[in-house]
Homo-oligomer: A and B are copies of this chain.
Amino acid sequence: MSKPIILVTNDDGIAAPGIRELILIMKEIGTVYVVAPDKPQSGMGHAVTINSTLRVEEIYSDNSSFEWACSGTPADCVKLAVNEILPKKPDLCVSGINHGSNSSINILYSGTMSAAIEAGIEGIPAIGFSLCDYSHNANFKAASKYIKKIALNVLKEGLPKDIVLNVNIPKADENEIKGVKICKQARTYWEEEFVKRVDPRGQNYYWLTGSWNNENFEKGTDEEALSENYISLVPVQFDLTAYSFMDTIKNWNFSI
């Protein structure tokens, strides 16, 4: 059987330590095509570039990997990869390893997960990987064996149409990681705060900041698993319909 073709992308940019580690892991499994942003794109959500042009440049290749840097968002990278760069549809798309958590509702803001979801829309089995450590020198190697195992599982078993995986890795050494737990998305959220400052010309400006309110996570959630040093794996769907509420709202009166 020929080696699988694996598309690797991220939102921290092609030079980030997290994607470099992910590339190394994927080269053990298949032929790797990297199409990733040429600069950090954190917090871009599922942004796409429709009002300006996109650039993409091949920056490296060897016998098992090919790397392109792209001026666009993570979702742009996946679209460009699939439609313009790759020789055929990839067998797997992996995004990450993100510098920082994409657990709970962070998934909504995550460029890493948007890339995975974009691949899912294109019909490609896809996984987003994130490490709960924002530091540049985070230990991206601790979970390497698990990342490889999860990727091999997806290559073997496939994923249902319209489902991708959101994998978060605790900040821990290899021997402290207890394994992989299948979880639901927690309901924890950010307590936003804006820092208000005055610029040298006397005008106000703001910095968005805040603290992560994860004290009251439910059982079975990704937050719980991570707090216990498990890797959390949440299967994610992008049909956002709230089916449970459809019957209720059908009784509302919308006549004018």
Listed in ascending order, the chain A residues whose CB lies under 8 Å from chain B are: 40, 42-51, 53-56, 75-76, 79-80, 82-84, 105, 107-109, 114, 117, 121, 145-146, 149-150, 153, 157, 160, 162-163, 166, 179-180, 182, 184-185, 187, 189, 192-194, 196-197, 203-208, 233-243, 245-246, 249-250, 252-256
Q: Complex Cα distance A161/B158, Å?
A: 33
Question: With a CB–CB cut-off of 8 A, which chain B residues contact A51?
Answer: 40, 42-43
Which residue, A149, A241, A243, has most C-beta atoms of chain B within 10 A?
A241
Rounded to whole Å, the gap between the CB of A98 and the closest CB of chain B is 14
**Known contacts A56-B206, A193-B83; is A239 also within 8 Å of B184 by CB?**
yes
Question: With a CB–CB cut-off of 8 A, which chain B residues contact A146?
Answer: 254, 256
Contact (Cβ within 8 A) A160 B245 = yes
Question: With a CB–CB cut-off of 8 A, which chain B residues contact A179?
Answer: 254-255
Question: With a CB–CB cut-off of 8 A, which chain B residues contact A208?
Answer: 48-50, 54, 76, 79
Work out how many copies of this chain go into the complex.
2
Question: With a CB–CB cut-off of 8 A, which chain B residues contact A162?
Answer: 187
Question: With a CB–CB cut-off of 8 A, which chain B residues contact A236?
Answer: 240-242
Which residue in chain B gives the minimum CB-CB distance to A206? B54
**Known contacts A157-B252, A192-B83, A207-B54; is A246 also within 8 Å of B48 by CB?**
no
Contact (Cβ within 8 A) A246 B182 = yes
Q: Complex Cα distance A1/B163, Å?
A: 46
Contact (Cβ within 8 A) A53 B245 = no
Contact (Cβ within 8 A) B242 A153 = no
Q: Complex Cα distance A154/B107, Å?
A: 27
15 extra interchain contacts, Cβ-Cβ under 8 A, other than A108-B117, A238-B240?
A42-B50, A43-B47, A44-B45, A45-B48, A45-B114, A46-B108, A49-B208, A79-B208, A84-B194, A84-B206, A145-B256, A185-B239, A233-B254, A235-B245, A235-B246
Rounded to whole Å, the gap between the CB of A144 and the closest CB of chain B is 9
Question: With a CB–CB cut-off of 8 A, which chain B residues contact A75?
Answer: 45, 109
Contact (Cβ within 8 A) B250 A242 = no
Q: Complex Cα distance A193/B83, Å?
A: 7
